[in-house]
């Protein structure tokens, strides 16, 4: 063996050794990463399962609370147990926060159609609500065309023909709204308009009454053809002395108040429940619509929407 070929062989051995070291290192790194990913996935999976189970328990608790309330009384008001603000409750490995809100304290957009026909009193009320927010009252016509069954555009409205000309083209729903976010498809309802309206409106599966015991102030004001003066006293009194029936409502309003021009009541079928769950690094917020049928059937969840899963990153944890 010549000295030359000897050093050549040593070179190959060295390079092979280095290669083996590199391969081992990279396999070890891959194994470590896989193990870390697997651990994280398991952690996330367990957190998620725990969060889901907490949410289901919370929905059941709300349903029992509301069903019992309906057995106890036929009036729904802000001094009742369900309306009380609960502090967040610590749970194993995290916390849960539940808030129940009367959905009929807001303006239900699907009230614009009653008995399959446009409802003039609700149309006027929504226009007053729009005007009070500094928005164009003519927006009601595109909304009405979106939910009414026909494809005949009303003046200032929009139907299939208008939406099909857009890019991308689509058709009017011609049925009741299913969510507030659906408004974004309707002509004139820009993101700014929708966000301005969001605190005042709701979308329920059918037309409903407004509960005068819980109605938020702008909604209450828009019920009247001209807003009654001195509603502050009424708003304060109703917290401790709920309105018992429709006649009582007129009695408790300031003297000389005009009659409300829209369907109202003193109890509620639909509740919006917000559930916040934090387990480990998982932070999840859900909104649930609970129906408590007038027939006396137990309350139950109609749908729930969960915000996209937010998993905290290291940077979030440090801030
Ligand atoms: Ca009640
Ligand atoms: Ca239509």
User: What average pLDDT does this structure show over 28-34?
Assistant: 70
User: What average pLDDT does this structure show over 256-271?
Assistant: 94
Let me know whether 237 and 286 are in one domain: no
CATH number at residue 86: 3.30.1300.30
Q: Is 32's pLDDT higher than 90?
A: no
Q: Is 314's pLDDT higher than 70?
A: no
Residue 13 pLDDT grade (very low, low, confident, very high; cuts 50, 70, 90): low
Distance 68 CA to ligand 1 centre (A): 9
Q: Which ligand is nearest to the CA of 172?
A: 2
Q: Is 163's pLDDT higher than 50?
A: yes
Q: Which ligand is nearest to the CA of 75?
A: 1
Let me know whether 233 and 304 are in one domain: no
Let me know whether 118 and 258 are in one domain: yes
Could you read off the pLDDT of 164-218 as tens digits, one per residue?
Answer: 999 999 999 999 999 999 999 999 999 999 999 999 999 999 999 999 999 999 9
Q: Which residue has the higher pLDDT, 163 or 13?
A: 163
Q: Which domain holds residue 159?
A: 108-264
Distance 175 CA to ligand 2 centre (A): 8
Domains held by the chain: number = 2
243, 264, 285 - which closes a domain: 264
CATH number at residue 215: 1.10.40.60
Let me know whether 251 and 163 are in one domain: yes
Question: SS3 letters for the chain?
Answer: CCHHHHHHHHHHHHHHHHHHHHHHHHHHHHHHHHHHHHHHHHHHHHHHHHHHHHHHHHHHHHHHHHHHHHHHCCCCCCCCHHHCCCCCEEECCEEEEEEEEEHHHCEEHHHHEECCEECHHHHHHHHHHHHHCCCCCCHHHHHHHHHCCCCCCCCCCCCHHHHHCCCCCCCCCCCCCCCHHHHHHCCCCCHHHHHHHHHHEECCCCCCCEECCCCCHHHHHHCCCCCCCCHHHHHHHHHHCCCCCHHHHHHHCCCCCCCCCCCEECCCCEEEEEEEEEECCEEEEEEEEEECCCCCCCCEEEEEEECCCEECCHHHHHC
Let me know whether 179 and 291 are in one domain: no
Distance 174 CA to ligand 2 centre (A): 4
Do strands 264-265 and 210-211 pair parallel, antiparallel, or not at all (unpaired)? Answer: parallel
Let me know whether 248 and 194 are in one domain: yes
Q: Which ligand is nearest to the CA of 269?
A: 1
Could you read off the pLDDT of 33-74 as tens digits, one per residue?
Answer: 778 888 888 888 888 888 888 899 999 999 999 999 999 999
Let me know whether 124 and 197 are in one domain: yes
Distance 259 CA to ligand 1 centre (A): 25
Could you read off the pLDDT of 217-249 as tens digits, one per residue?
Answer: 999 999 999 888 888 899 999 988 999 998 899
Could you read off the pLDDT of 71-110 as tens digits, one per residue?
Answer: 999 999 999 999 998 889 898 888 999 999 999 999 999 9
Let me know whether 16 and 79 are in one domain: yes
Let me know whether 143 and 181 are in one domain: yes
Q: Which ligand is nearest to the CA of 160?
A: 2
């Amino acid at each position: 063996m010549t000295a030359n070929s000897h050093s050549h062989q040593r070179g190959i051995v060295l390079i092979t050794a280095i290669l083996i070291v590199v391969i081992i290192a990279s396999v070890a790194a891959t194994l470590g990463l896989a193990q870390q990913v697997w651990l994280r996935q398991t952690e996330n999976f367990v957190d998620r399962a725990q969060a889901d189970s907490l949410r289901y328990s919370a929905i059941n608790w709300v349903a029992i609370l509301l069903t019992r309330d309906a057995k106890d009384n036929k009036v729904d008001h802000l001094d009742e147990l369900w309306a009380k603000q609960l502090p967040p409750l610590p749970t194993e490995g995290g916390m849960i926060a539940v808030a129940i809100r009367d959905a009929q304290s807001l303006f239900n957009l699907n009230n614009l159609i009653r008995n399959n026909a446009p409802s003039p009193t609700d149309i006027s009320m929504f226009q007053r609500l729009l005007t009070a927010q500094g928005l164009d009252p003519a927006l009601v016509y595109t909304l009405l065309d979106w939910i009414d069954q026909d494809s005949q555009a009303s003046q200032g409205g929009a139907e299939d023909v208008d939406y099909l000309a857009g890019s991308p083209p689509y058709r009017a729903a011609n049925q009741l709204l299913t969510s507030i976010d659906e408004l974004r498809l309707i002509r004139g309802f820009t993101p700014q308009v929708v966000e301005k309206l969001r605190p005042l409106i709701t979308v329920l599966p059918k037309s409903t009454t407004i509960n005068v015991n819980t109605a938020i102030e702008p909604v209450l004001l828009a019920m009247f053809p001209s807003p009654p003066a001195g509603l502050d006293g009424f708003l304060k009194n109703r917290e401790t002395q709920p309105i018992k029936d429709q006649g009582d409502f007129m009695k408790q309003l300031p003297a000389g108040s005009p009659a409300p021009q829209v369907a109202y009541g003193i109890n509620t079928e639909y509740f919006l429940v917000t559930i916040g769950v934090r387990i480990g690094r998982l932070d999840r917020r859900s909104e649930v619509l609970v129906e408590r049928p007038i027939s006396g059937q137990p309350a139950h969840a109609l749908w729930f929407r969960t915000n996209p899963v937010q998993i905290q990153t290291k940077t979030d944890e440090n801030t």
